[in-house]
């Protein structure tokens, strides 16, 4: 299902890009302080779109990496707490059995 949706979106974006390129054949001058470039409007729009996708992907990658690191950290913390619970239960059951033995000894001694 995801592949079909991805394919349909890709085709739609290709059609949109081609139509923008055909309908806007004008040349555009980009003039920065140290850089001047003349190109077709469609090429510049495609370049800006690709740069935006790359920047967005980089930001998402940083967030995913940070979240995976936090997940690993929380999993370690969870395992440590689970081990503590197991130890407490063992200690509690040992204490209860010791108390039961002492109680039975006291009852038998009377």
pLDDT at 54: 94
pLDDT at 71: 97
pLDDT at 1: 84
**60 and 74 Cβ atoms separated by less than 8 Å:** no
pLDDT at 110: 61
pLDDT at 80: 95
pTM of the model: 0.58
Distance of alpha carbon 50 from alpha carbon 48, whole angstroms: 5
For the chain (110 residues), the mean pLDDT of every run of 10, in chain order, is 87 84 83 85 83 94 97 96 87 74 70
pLDDT at 105: 67
DSSP 84-102: HHHHHHHHHHHHHHHHHHH
């Amino acid at each position: 299902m995801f592949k079909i949706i991805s394919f349909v979106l890709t085709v739609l974006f290709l059609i949109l890009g081609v139509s923008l390129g055909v309908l806007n054949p004008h040349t555009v001058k980009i003039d920065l302080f140290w850089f001047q470039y003349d190109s077709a409007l469609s090429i510049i729009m495609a370049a800006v779109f690709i740069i935006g996708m790359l920047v967005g992907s980089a930001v998402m990658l940083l967030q995913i990496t940070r979240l995976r690191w936090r997940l690993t950290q929380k999993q370690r913390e969870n395992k440590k707490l689970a081990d503590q619970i197991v130890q407490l239960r063992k200690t509690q059951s040992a204490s209860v059995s010791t108390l039961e033995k002492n109680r039975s000894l006291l009852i038998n001694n009377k």
